[in-house]
Amino acid sequence: MAEKKSTYNERHNRYTQEYIHKKYDQIVLRLPKEGKDGVITRDIIIEVARKSGESVNSYIIEAVKKRIETDNLHSS
C-alpha cells in the first residue's frame, strides 16, 4: 500500500515558515565546538538555558537585554 502524503503538514509548514519570515529577524551565532577557559560553546548555552527553565532563544535575548541595560547603550 502506498504511503499517503499529508498535504496539511506541508501547507501548515509553509504557512509557519512564511509567518516566521515576516515577523522575525534572525541573527546567526558562530560558536567554537570546543571551549577553552572562558569560551562559551553551544553546549554551555543549552545547559544554562535548560537549568534556568528557558528556551535557548529566550535565554540569549534576556542576556542581551541585561547587557544593553548594564552598558547603557540603548537610546530610547
Q: How far apart are CA 70 and CA 18, in angstroms?
A: 35
pTM exceeding 0.75: no
Q: In terms of C-beta density within 10 A (0-12 exposed, 13-18 middle, 19 or more buried), how is residue 1 classed?
A: exposed
Residue 76 has pLDDT above 80, yes or no: no
Structural domain count, the chain: 1
d(CA 72, CA 75): 8
Residue-wise pLDDT for 17-75, tens only, equals 999 999 999 999 999 888 778 888 999 999 999 999 999 999 999 999 999 999 987 66
Residue 59 lies in a domain: yes
Contacts for 54 with CB less than 8 Å, ≥ 6 apart: 62
Output 6 or 26, whichever has higher pLDDT.
Answer: 26
d(CA 21, CA 28): 15
Confidence (pLDDT) at 3? 66
Is there a domain that residue 23 lies in? no
Domain limits at 59? 30-76
pLDDT value of residue 36: 79
